[in-house]
């Protein structure tokens, strides 16, 4: 009897350890991704100087006379397209979240909630396809261009893809504002609109900021839509009508064609590492903002 | 300036318009794809392979490929996600380890899909030697889906009241026995909901399979987990950017897009209906 109970206690311990190990697996994977990216990137810098990598604006690894590995224009393109997407998705997303949380009748919620879920579920390759067949021609006609594969197209697509994230997290944040705040404001004679703009949204601001950052993280890391719809010119964008190539699109296009274990191959892992670090930092900061906001509650 | 009431009318009008606009975006997307894709879809399109340099024929191998790869994804992401969730909700104590695990889950969810593609290429294709194959691609997508399955499973476990656990613990059974017999059976339907959502997203992903196993064109169906495969999302990418006669294959691309959306959205729908049904059952 005694032996059995000590065996069963041992068994219980092992079961708990087994589940702990599964929990820790996520940490291993995250560290593993970082480690492998770093490990596969480093050989790049036997041939390419780190300074060139981070300061040259010319990305031309297949140049016949001279190869060039500078990611500045790729980083800049990524930022331009992302900022462009936020210009319309942030106001639209916050307004939609405010509508959902403050004034939508139940019927409208029942339509809008699944709409956002379905929008979030559309595969990025389909969004990219629409960039080619629908939004591109629209842009070309509107601005009288030969084709619509450019910065604006990418921004519109990324904005659509960031919308569900921005809406649902902002809505949670606005919902979490205590009713007392609103009641106090209304009791002082403010209208519902004034209460929303001057009390509720400022009170939810940190949550909304986190929502915007997560949306931005999605936009920076999105591959297929920008790969298909921004024209893929690895150069510094001159205007919003320029074709560009982002960090993600560069990896997407070139890695399929490159021979394994060449400098070009390794350099694409270095691009991936830059991308990983960028999105990691954005996630950490938005995490921190959200935590601060939960503590303040 | 406007009076306060007019100001409110304009303000609320703007919010309504924004919500309508979001709905409008979805309607335009679905309308364009359904109206132009539906004409291509017929039994032959769904059950035959592409022929004549992909300008004719169907997408059967791509459907089979996407299905096979999703099975591997599920085999990896569902059990591991459940186990990790059981740890977090049933065993974990507040502390540094738990905090680090939670932070890692959130960060893993934010890692760009193309970076998972790089990781899968380095780990599964190269280091573990699985080559470009269904296995490599499925495992890559599985890792990508893990944060979703963990979070979903944990949400489901959270809805099980503590009285279920305490009731059986009070009878003298071990903790694992209580979890296994009195918590998991009630949590599993809820776990399924989120898991299906995660798998539907994986089925529609392209970037992680670009270099881990998806093939431009294959005349035969895959015969083992180590074969390359055609996949619906990659096929759509190929048909709309890589094909030499893009105008000619445009209708087929629309058809592929429609099948892909229908597949992903019906998985979503199953999950949403399942959740709705569970909530109704919980209320009773």
Provide CB contacts within 8 A for A52, sequence distance 6+. Answer: A68, A69, A70
Are B125 and B227 within one domain?
Answer: yes
- Is the pLDDT higher at A66 or at B113? B113
In this structure, what CATH number is given to the domain that contains residue B266? 1.10.3720.10
* Distance set, CA B62 to CA B48, B50, B56, B235 (Å): 10, 9, 14, 7
Are B14 and B138 within one domain?
Answer: no
Cα A101 from chain centre: 24
Q: Which residues of B touch A218 (CB under 8 A)?
A: 110
Question: Can you give the length of chain A in residues?
Answer: 297
State whether A122 and B29 contact (CB < 8 Å): yes
- The count of structural domains within chain B is 2
A108 interfacial to chain B (CB closer than 8 Å): yes
State whether B121 and A8 contact (CB < 8 Å): no
Report the chain A residue with the minimal C-alpha distance to residue B143: A29
Are B21 and B79 within one domain?
Answer: no
Minimal Cα–Cα distance from A238 to chain B, Å?
24
Are B206 and B72 within one domain?
Answer: yes
Residue in the block written with tokens 């074709």 = A243
B6 interfacial to chain A (CB closer than 8 Å): no
Mean pLDDT of chain B: 89
* Distance set, CA B188 to CA B91, B180, B273, B274 (Å): 18, 11, 15, 12
Minimal Cα–Cα distance from B259 to chain A, Å?
11
Chain B 245-264, residues with CB within 8 Å of chain A CB atoms:
250, 253-254, 257, 260-261, 264
Mutate to test the interface with A, among B118, B176, B260 (most CBs of A within 10 A): B118
Helix (H, G, I), strand (E, B) or coil at B50: strand
Are B9 and B62 within one domain?
Answer: no
Percent of residues, chain B, with pLDDT higher than 90:
48
Q: Which residues of B touch A96 (CB under 8 A)?
A: 15, 18-19, 21-22
ipTM over the 0.95 cut-off: no
* Domain span holding position B18: 4-38
Please report the DSSP string for A161-180 in residue order: HHHHHHHHHHHHHHHTS-HH
**Measured on CA atoms in the order A158, A162, A163, A164, is the torsion positive or negative?**
positive
Report the chain B residue with the minimal C-alpha distance to residue A256: B211
pLDDT digits (tens), chain A, 297 positions: 445 578 888 888 898 889 999 989 999 999 999 999 999 999 999 888 888 888 888 888 887 777 888 888 899 999 999 999 999 999 999 999 999 998 899 999 888 988 998 899 899 999 999 999 999 999 999 998 888 888 999 999 999 999 999 999 999 999 989 989 999 999 998 888 999 999 999 999 988 999 999 999 999 999 999 999 988 877 788 888 888 899 999 999 998 888 888 889 999 999 999 999 999 999 899 888 877 766 655
Are B10 and B108 within one domain?
Answer: no
Report the chain B residue with the minimal C-alpha distance to residue A121: B201
Are B34 and B54 within one domain?
Answer: no
User: How far is the C-alpha of B67 from the C-alpha of B60, rounded, in Å?
Assistant: 11
Q: Tell me the helix, strand and coil percentages in chain B, rounded to 5.
A: 75, 0, 20
Minimal Cα–Cα distance from A271 to chain B, Å?
10
- What are B80-83's contacts with CB under 8 Å, separation 24+? B80/A22, B80/A25, B80/B142, B80/B146, B80/B149, B81/B145, B81/B146, B81/B148, B81/B149, B81/B150, B81/B152, B81/B153, B81/B195, B81/B198, B82/B149, B82/B153, B82/B191, B83/A18, B83/A19, B83/A22, B83/A23
Structure tokens at B265: 């959205």
B202 interfacial to chain A (CB closer than 8 Å): no
| Interface size, chain A vs chain B, as Cβ–Cβ contacts under 8 Å | 263
Q: Which alpha helices (DSSP H) does A42-100 contain, by range? A: 44-47, 50-55, 72-98
The band of B269, judged by pLDDT with boundaries at 50, 70 and 90, is confident
Nearest to B202 by CA among B70, B68, B61: B70
Nearest 5°: the CA angle A180, A185, A191 is 130
Beta bridge partners of A60: A68
State whether B204 and A252 contact (CB < 8 Å): no
* Distance set, CA B251 to CA A133, A204, B34, B248 (Å): 11, 46, 11, 7
Are B27 and B156 within one domain?
Answer: no
β-pairing verdict for A59-60 and A68-69: antiparallel
B101 interfacial to chain A (CB closer than 8 Å): yes
Minimal Cα–Cα distance from B162 to chain A, Å?
19
State whether B207 and A130 contact (CB < 8 Å): no
Are B223 and B148 within one domain?
Answer: yes
**A118 closest CB neighbour out of B26, B147, B240:** B26
Q: Which alpha helices (DSSP H) does B54-183 contain, by range? A: 60-86, 96-110, 113-120, 134-158, 162-170, 175-178
Minimal Cα–Cα distance from A45 to chain B, Å?
18
Mutate to test the interface with A, among B19, B109, B201, B228 (most CBs of A within 10 A): B19
A34 interfacial to chain B (CB closer than 8 Å): no
State whether B111 and A33 contact (CB < 8 Å): yes
Are B9 and B105 within one domain?
Answer: no
Are B222 and B155 within one domain?
Answer: yes
Structure tokens at B274: 């399942």
Per-residue pLDDT of B140-199, as tens digits, reads 999 999 999 999 999 889 888 888 888 888 887 888 888 888 888 888 888 888 889 899
Minimal Cα–Cα distance from A211 to chain B, Å?
13
Are B93 and B109 within one domain?
Answer: yes
């Amino acid at each position: 009897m005694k032996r059995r109970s000590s065996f069963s206690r041992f068994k219980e311990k092992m079961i708990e350890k087994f589940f702990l190990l599964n929990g820790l697996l996520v940490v291993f994977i995250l560290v593993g991704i970082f480690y492998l990216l770093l490990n596969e990137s480093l050989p790049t810098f036997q041939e390419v100087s780190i300074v060139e990598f981070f300061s040259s604006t010319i990305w031309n690894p297949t140049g016949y006379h001279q190869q060039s590995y500078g990611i500045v224009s790729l980083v800049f393109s990524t930022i331009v397209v992302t900022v462009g997407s936020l210009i319309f998705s942030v106001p639209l997303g916050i307004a939609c979240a405010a509508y959902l949380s403050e004034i939508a009748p139940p019927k409208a919620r029942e339509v809008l909630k699944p709409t956002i879920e379905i929008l979030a579920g559309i595969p990025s390759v389909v969004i990219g396809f629409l960039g080619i067949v629908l939004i591109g021609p629209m842009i070309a006609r509107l601005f009288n261009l030969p084709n619509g594969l450019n910065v604006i197209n990418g921004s519109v697509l990324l904005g659509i893809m960031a919308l569900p994230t921005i809406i649902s997290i902002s809505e949670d944040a606005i919902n979490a504002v205590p009713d007392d705040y609103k009641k106090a404001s209304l009791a002082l004679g403010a209208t519902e609109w004034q209460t929303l703009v001057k009390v509720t949204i400022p009170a939810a601001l940190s949550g909304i900021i986190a929502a915007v950052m997560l949306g931005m993280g999605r936009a920076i890391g999105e591959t297929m839509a920008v790969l298909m719809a921004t024209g893929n010119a690895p150069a510094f964008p001159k205007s919003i009508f320029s074709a560009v190539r982002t960090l993600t699109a560069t990896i997407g296009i070139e890695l399929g064609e490159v021979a394994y274990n060449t400098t070009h191959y390794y350099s694409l892992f270095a691009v991936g590492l830059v991308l990983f670090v960028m999105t990691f930092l954005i996630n950490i900061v938005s995490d921190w903002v959200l935590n601060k906001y939960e503590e303040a509650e | 300036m406007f009076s306060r009431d007019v100001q409110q009318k304009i303000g609320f009008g703007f919010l309504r318009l924004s919500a309508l606009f979001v709905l409008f975006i979805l309607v335009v997307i679905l309308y364009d794809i359904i109206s132009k894709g539906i004409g291509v879809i017929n039994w032959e399109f769904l059950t035959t392979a592409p022929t004549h340099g992909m300008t004719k024929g169907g997408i059967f191998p791509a459907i089979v490929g996407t299905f096979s790869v999703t099975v591997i994804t599920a085999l990896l992401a569902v059990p591991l996600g459940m186990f990790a969730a059981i740890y977090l909700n049933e065993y974990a104590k507040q502390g540094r380890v738990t905090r680090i695990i939670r932070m890692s889950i959130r960060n893993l969810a934010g890692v760009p899909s193309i970076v998972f593609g790089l990781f899968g290429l380095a780990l599964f294709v190269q280091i573990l030697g699985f080559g470009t194959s269904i296995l490599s691609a499925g495992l890559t997508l599985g890792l990508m889906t893990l944060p979703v399955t963990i979070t979903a499973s944990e949400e489901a476990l959270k809805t099980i009241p503590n009285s279920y656990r305490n009731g059986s613990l009070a009878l003298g059974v071990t903790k694992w026995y209580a979890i296994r017999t009195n918590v998991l059976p009630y949590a599993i339907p809820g776990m399924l909901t989120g898991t299906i959502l995660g798998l539907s997203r994986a089925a529609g992903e392209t970037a992680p399979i670009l270099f881990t196993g998806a093939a431009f064109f294959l005349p035969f169906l895959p015969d083992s987990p180590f074969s390359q495969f055609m996949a619906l999302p990659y096929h759509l990418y190929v048909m709309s950017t890589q094909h030499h006669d893009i105008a000619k294959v445009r209708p087929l691309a629309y058809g592929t897009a429609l099948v892909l959306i229908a597949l992903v959205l019906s998985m979503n729908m199953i999950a949403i209906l399942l959740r709705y049904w569970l909530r109704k059952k919980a209320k009773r």
